[in-house]
Amino acid sequence: MTHLDFVSLLHKKTNRDYIKRVAEFPKSKAAQIAKKFDYDYWDGDRRVGYGGYHYDGRWRIVAEKLVEHYNIKPGNSILDIGCGKGFLLYDLLEVVPGIKIAGIDISHYAIKHAKDEVKPFLQVGNAISLPFSDKSFDLVISITTLHNLYCYELELALKEMQRVAKTNKYLCVESYRDENEKANLLYWQLTCESFNTPREWAWWFEKTDYTGDHEFIYFE
């Protein structure tokens, strides 16, 4: 199990006003709207989600890092758990034509409005019960998704991720290392349910026999 730094490259490019986030719009109402994972979350007001989640190539650098680290070749199969609109899967196809992809997301809206090139390979589903056979994929990834699960769901999702992967797995979740980062995470997040320090995440990995790689993003 290796700690990687792929998504952090993108995460740190965004400037965040944490106090404004909780002052300009009732946080409880924003969370209620965001957790529907519908239009408002993806393409509505920034106060309740992405504020317009459109393809802009930002995931290309992450795709290149994954390809290099896991030596992805044509014919390899990749599953993205929490794929959203499939932008990362599209970039992976661009970097390595000929790979086999699959994506799953709980949001009907995201799948319906996914990038056309990858839409046929995506489906609505839940991370706690993946509709795939054991050891179906050469690489299974999940980026900023599993922290949205309650603990009893998180255990199932980690076990499912382990089950459907042949060998390689990469997981990126939100975390915090001190009280400042904890407060910022609480201010900024809209859908998070599992608030864990790196040590607590390590406990979850051991408990569920998750043997893949991982990355933590922090709200500094």
Domains and CATH numbers, the chain: 8-217 (3.40.50.150)
Q: Which pLDDT band holds residue 17 (cuts at 50, 70, 90)?
A: very high
Tell me: pLDDT of 47 over 90: yes
- Sheet with 213-217: list strands edge to edge: 122-124, 100-105, 77-81, 137-143, 165-174, 213-217
Express each pLDDT in 107-160 by its tens digit: 999 999 999 999 999 999 999 999 999 999 999 999 999 999 999 999 999 999
Express each pLDDT in 83-108 by its tens digit: 999 999 999 999 999 999 999 999 99
Q: What is the DSSP letter of 3?
A: B
Tell me: pLDDT of 13 over 90: no
Kind plus residue range of the DSSP H or E element containing 169: strand 165-174
Tell me: pLDDT of 9 over 90: no
